Amino acid sequence: MTTTLDLYRNVRKNFVAASAHADIIHVRMWDEVGEETTYVWFESLAQAINEDMVASVPFESHADLFEFIATAALNGKAELVDCIDVSFVENLFWDVPKGKAKRYWTLLPAPLKELYVAFHRKEPI
């Protein structure tokens, strides 16, 4: 994967349930889902995961998705890493109580943790 659009298409193809949840949130905020809003869609994906954290959905439900995105961050060009960082990672854990965030944070792949701490200057727990 080399572009944000590649990541978007691959996440939608491989993680259908998480993508459907993100789509619901995205439509509430932006009225529609489409490739022209790819970058900001990852914010909606983060929000979907945040809602799952609050609802105590086990980390394992998203483990493969996190690994997929972490691998993309490690291997991607600057455009792709920027999207993962700014649109996805910076929005993870937003308004998630520390107790609900703890297991997710503990198991989150290191590349995503590094991006989170680089922006927020602290862990979410």
**Tens of pLDDT, residues 83-94:** 999 999 999 999
**Which amino acid, one-letter code, is at 116?**
Y
Chain centroid, CA 70 distance in Å: 10
In contact, 37 and 26? CB cutoff 8 Å: yes
Tokens 């995503």 appear where? 112
What pTM did the predictor assign?
0.96
Pick the closest to residue 83 from 3, 11, 12 (CA basis): 3
The pair of three-digit structure tokens given for residue 75, joined into one six-digit string: 């291997």
Apex CA 65: angle with CA 52 and CA 10, to 5°?
Answer: 125
Q: What is the mean pLDDT of the chain?
A: 96
Q: In this structure, what DSSP letter does residue 35 have?
A: G
